[in-house]
């Protein structure tokens, strides 16, 4: 299990702890918010992929599933 904190959250922590500019705390909060939204979107994509696999939909859905899989792979690769 990888316990290393994702880059976005490391940056958020750095910004928050090095408040030299008035916008640092806001930027840190926004990074954390976007990280959370990203996690929710990845989970939603995975649910759609799982649903498609279970129901064997047509070619357009299969293409969308492949696009979703690629997006998940890209997002998880960038956060490791």
Return the pLDDT at 44: 84
CA atoms within 13 A on the CB side of 58: 1
Q: Domain limits of the chain?
A: 7-79
**What's the CA gap between 69 and 67, in Å, rounded?**
5
Share of the chain above pLDDT 90, in %: 0
For residue 13, pLDDT over 80 is answered with: yes
**What is the pTM assigned to this prediction?**
0.61
pLDDT tens-place string over residues 31-65:
888 888 888 888 888 887 777 666 667 787 778 87
């Amino acid at each position: 299990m990888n316990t290393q904190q994702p880059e976005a959250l490391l940056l958020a922590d750095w910004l928050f702890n090095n408040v030299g500019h008035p916008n640092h705390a806001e930027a840190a909060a926004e990074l954390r918010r976007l990280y959370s939204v990203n996690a929710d979107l990845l989970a939603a994509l995975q649910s759609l992929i799982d649903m498609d696999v279970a129901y064997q939909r047509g070619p357009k859905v299969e293409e969308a599933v492949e696009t979703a899989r690629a997006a998940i792979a890209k997002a998880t690769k960038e956060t490791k």
